[in-house]
Amino acid sequence: MKSIRQQLTLMLLLGFGLLLVLSCTAIYFFTRVALFTEFDASLQAKALAIMALTEQSSEGVRVESSNAFFQQLNHDATHQFYEVWQTNGTLCARSESLGGTDLPRPSVLPIAPSFWNLNLPAGHAGRAIGLRFTPKSEDENAGSVAPLEVMVVVAADRQAMNRTLDILALVLVVTGLLTLITTVPLVKFCLRRGHAPLDQLARQAAVITADSLQIRFPVDSLPQELRPIATRLNDLLGRLESSFERERRFSADLAHELRTPLAELRTLAEVELAWPDGGATEKHRETLNIALQMEAMVTRLLELARCENGMISLHLELVAIAPLVETVWQPFANKAKAKQLIIHLQVPPDAIIHTDRTLFRAILTNLFSNAVEYAPQNGQMKINWQSDVVELTVSNTVHDLNAADVPHLFERLWRKDKSRTGGDHCGLGLAVSQAFAEMLGLNLQAQFCDESTLKLTLRFQGS
């Protein structure tokens, strides 16, 4: 399983370890170079001093070894060594510390001063400088003597320096390891502290269930990096809450719409069986009405389900609007007349659209049915077609709806009356109409023209 904390821990430890190794190595080598440079400078100074105290005469090369400098060299007999010889191999001088032995001579005599490591006669590690030079002449008639080349090698025991470097290496390794070991819990602690808001967010998210979608993450108390995430999560929760609430309401409304007629049917039958009192025709009529009510609702639910699952195939054709509107309106004319509705029908005879006649007819039926049902007594109803913008509007006066209800009008099973009394309109008509409209590429919208007039507009999208 991928863990950001584990990955960060690993990467930080690896990075820190690498930096530590590089730092320690750099410290060691810079210190070593510095020590060697100083060591070499000391060797070179001694070699130059010997060079200055070496003279050539007609008798050969002579080193002024009685000088205080040589006394000091010989005084440190176990650590300081020197040897001077002519390039032809003739020994000129050597330190007492060599005990009569020679220093290891380089196979190639360097022209420029050069340094090398070597094993000293006592078996100790040492370092030496080799310097080839021509000694100055002590005779006034120097020009009569052929100049000789002399090689001086000065060596010194470097065990002390090696010990210093070993101790430094040991200190660096031990310190580095201790630092690395200490860093592991420190990094973990820091990451845990750093991830605490994320863990808190995760804990808060873990307790959110379908029943507690009203919970929101406290954005202000979160670190800046997590605020956008929490804000998006809150937005998501808001949408989920609305969606769940809609689904819950739909389920509850559906249960009511199905349970009530079922209860009516069952009770009617049980009462009639227990206490028959004749009047069978009336009972049968009631039974039929209940069955028709349930059938209508189930049919609409199935229409919605088929529509949402793309199971309705379209048969597009040219449809004349005026005769279709007239045909669809006929079944509602009597009810409109009984309610003394004032009807304004304005559909040009030449209005034609390219659509599916069956679905378009179903939409018109729902719109007219709703308008007639919810228009108050002596109310008004207008059916208007506008060819220029290709839209049909059905508007009617209402008495118990307002603008706040508009967003709910197309929700499945929504009813203004929360008691859901009466079963003729269960609140599926507009939901079905909108689903059909979308299939036909139409846009069905509702709005209030004024405080008491609801207008439903069916418009071709893009028109």
Contacts with another protein, residue ranges (CB under 8 A): 252, 255-256, 259-260, 262-268, 270-271, 274-275, 286, 290, 417-421
How would you classify residue 441: left for phi > 0, otherwise alpha for psi between -120 and 50, otherwise beta? left
Smallest separation, CB 449 to another protein (Å):
28
Closer of 135 and 427 to another protein (Cβ): 427
Asked whether the CA dihedral 72, 74, 75, 77 is positive or negative, the reply is: positive
Closer of 251 and 463 to another protein (Cβ): 251
Smallest separation, CB 277 to another protein (Å):
8
Smallest separation, CB 269 to another protein (Å):
9
Which of 423, 331, 320 minimizes the C-alpha distance to 368?
331
* Identity at 171, one-letter amino acid code: V
DSSP, collapsed to helix, strand or coil, labels residue 32 as helix
In the DSSP assignment, the letter for residue 403 is G
Which of 462, 455, 442, 454 minimizes the C-alpha distance to 319?
442
Smallest separation, CB 204 to another protein (Å):
23
Closer of 203 and 418 to another protein (Cβ): 418
Closer of 267 and 461 to another protein (Cβ): 267
Smallest separation, CB 275 to another protein (Å):
5
| Sequence-ordered list of residues with C-beta below 8 angstroms from that of 44, at least 6 positions apart, any chain | 113, 129, 131
Smallest separation, CB 400 to another protein (Å):
11
Q: Could you give the C-alpha distances from 286 to 198, 289, 427, in angstroms and in order?
A: 62, 5, 22
Smallest separation, CB 276 to another protein (Å):
11
Which of 97, 112, 102, 71 minimizes the C-alpha distance to 157?
97
Closer of 400 and 450 to another protein (Cβ): 400
Q: Could you give the C-alpha distances from 75 to 38, 125, 161, 166, 369, in angstroms and in order?
A: 21, 20, 20, 28, 126
Closer of 125 and 255 to another protein (Cβ): 255
| Sequence-ordered list of residues with C-beta below 8 angstroms from that of 230, at least 6 positions apart, any chain | 201, 217, 218, 219, 222
Closer of 219 and 265 to another protein (Cβ): 265
Rounded to whole angstroms, the Cα distance separating 383 from 456 reads 10
Smallest separation, CB 417 to another protein (Å):
6
Rounded to whole angstroms, the Cα distance separating 216 from 218 reads 6
Closer of 211 and 350 to another protein (Cβ): 211
Smallest separation, CB 265 to another protein (Å):
8
Smallest separation, CB 401 to another protein (Å):
16
* 249 neighbors 418 (Cβ within 8 angstroms): no
Closer of 165 and 268 to another protein (Cβ): 268
Smallest separation, CB 229 to another protein (Å):
32
Tokens of 456: 């439903």
Closer of 259 and 354 to another protein (Cβ): 259
Rounded to whole angstroms, the Cα distance separating 287 from 261 reads 10
Closer of 58 and 214 to another protein (Cβ): 214
Which of 127, 106, 125 minimizes the C-alpha distance to 117?
127
Helices 357-374 & 321-338 angle (0-180, nearest 10)? 20
| Sequence-ordered list of residues with C-beta below 8 angstroms from that of 252, at least 6 positions apart, any chain | none
